[in-house]
Structure 1
């Protein structure tokens, strides 16, 4: 998926990487927007040299993607993900870059405070969801789900699973075993068409609960089996998801109602109903 991001009246080419779950932005476009340089490519080359001389490894970590050029042809260009882009903006001496730098300083101070006091992070998350119209009950489940997910990914990291593609594959396996559907198809079922729409932000209470059960079970199995590397954790993911899947099927059989729903929060907002996703 590709898109054009607007910066005031200027356009920045971007592309969504489904496997990495990240946006990539054209560095040349960002440099041109922030500096108003008539020769942004030359400016970027000079900035790369400056960063290298200062000991920064940023330019070495940037990738390249084919993006549509002014002549309509697809040409390779330097791209940066969000984290890299924000680091790059810090290096550009420009009045247009100053608001970003001030924002980064504020966010940095807030995150340091949250590290010292984790309750501040939870308060920020609660406030964000509350402002969007979610119920207190749903928010509590969502926050608990975030903590369960963090426990799982920390376990994966310690056990040699690589972030990005391998995390995505294991997550998909848990979802498939838990709900009988892959996350990509789940999003389609709920009518979520934008790449940055988070599936879990559109789950009902029960969907969140079974998501937690699948991931918590996977964490427990990985620990008890001392799973190492991708393959063993892949097996643990299937097993953990199946625990939640069997519980879901049992509830569906006894309640007579399917757990997997096409309901989403966006639909409730359009109807003027900001109550719990039940």
Structure 2
């Protein structure tokens, strides 16, 4: 039997002309402060969202968010500086600085909450089915990819629903979707190897860029410019590169993960990056040769112009 919140989320109430976070908090009988920015963006106070949907019984409203924030920082899944904005507000006790975020930021934070709370589970399930669970979040791009890949490992069924719905909405074929999911699973093994062999906090962006540099002689920003991607498209870079490039990346990241584990010692971020760069350089000539033979650009997959035409 569905709970009241499940019925609410699956009903017509969610089609009202109000943001989903406000509808959820109102349904729960809670309160959440928000402020509207000059550009029209609405920001929500994070402590209110976390307190209400976790069903926290703590006397201090800040406690639940403070605890969750420590977990997020330790995991490194979300770059909080990118999605959380400290704002000064007036309170009965005088001016106070507290943290706000967008609705997308709330969704990103919700992902890292424990499923022990029934409300949290229901909100996660709804977001997954709505196709927004891990889509278009304002996180560091490589960490956003890792977050989606970790979700695949933690809850495959929910992750698959979100991923398949997202890519079908983009017009991707079932074969393309299947290959992309396999690539994500391989990427998950790669990021796991970075975490497990790191002497400190792994630098995912550095390792990823080392691979791009070794394989394509470009950093991520240069690839984005080369492909002419928008800022929005750049967040899902691997959705916009060729099949040959995707397969090559999966190969050198798989080899890098194996190499790091075989060394049986902790590695610095620089050592990890050099391993990835070396593996990418080994794979690069084969990618280029295949693309030339097929007659397509190795990165974009677009047909190459031939002389005389």
How far residue 107 of structure 1 moved from its aligned partner, in angstroms, is 5.0
TM-score (structure 1 length as normaliser)? 0.58
Partner of 1:138: 176
TM-score (structure 2 length as normaliser)? 0.53
Partner of 2:123: 103
Matched, 1:118 2:152: no
Partner of 2:67: 57
Partner of 1:179: 216
Choose 244-253 or 197-206, whichever is displaced more.
244-253
For the 8 Å contact 1:227–1:236, the answer to whether it is kept is no
Q: 1:121 to 1:252 in 2, by over 3 A?
A: closer
More strand by share: 1
Aligned partners of 2:275 and 2:205: how far apart in 1?
14
How far residue 103 of structure 1 moved from its aligned partner, in angstroms, is 2.9
Q: How many residues align?
A: 217
How far residue 187 of structure 1 moved from its aligned partner, in angstroms, is 1.3
For the 8 Å contact 2:128–2:158, the answer to whether it is kept is no
How far residue 204 of structure 1 moved from its aligned partner, in angstroms, is 2.1
For the 8 Å contact 1:187–1:199, the answer to whether it is kept is yes
State the superposition RMSD in angstroms: 4.8
Aligned partners of 1:13 and 1:147: how far apart in 2?
41
Aligned partners of 1:13 and 1:227: how far apart in 2?
51
Partner of 1:203: 241
For the 8 Å contact 2:45–2:99, the answer to whether it is kept is no
Q: 1:240 to 1:67 in 2, by over 3 A?
A: farther
Of structures 1 and 2, the one scoring higher in RCO (CA 8 A, sep 6+) is 1
Q: 1:161 to 1:131 in 2, by over 3 A?
A: farther
Matched, 1:192 2:203: no
Instruction: Please list every run of 5 or more consecutive structure 2 residues that lacks an aligned counterpart in the other structure.
Output: 1-17, 23-33, 50-57, 74-79, 90-96, 112-118, 134-150, 303-309
Aligned partners of 1:115 and 1:174: how far apart in 2?
23
Find the residue that maps to 1:200 and give its secondary structure: helix
Aligned partners of 1:117 and 1:59: how far apart in 2?
22
Aligned mate of 1:11, from 36, 47, 64: 36
Q: Deviations over 1:214-238 (max 9, x none)?
A: 2112112222333522232122111
Q: 1:137 to 1:200 in 2, by over 3 A?
A: same
Q: 1:237 to 1:161 in 2, by over 3 A?
A: farther
Aligned mate of 2:190, from 130, 135, 152: 152
Aligned partners of 1:78 and 1:116: how far apart in 2?
28
How far residue 51 of structure 1 moved from its aligned partner, in angstroms, is 2.6
Aligned partners of 2:249 and 2:230: how far apart in 1?
21
Q: 1:117 to 1:56 in 2, by over 3 A?
A: closer
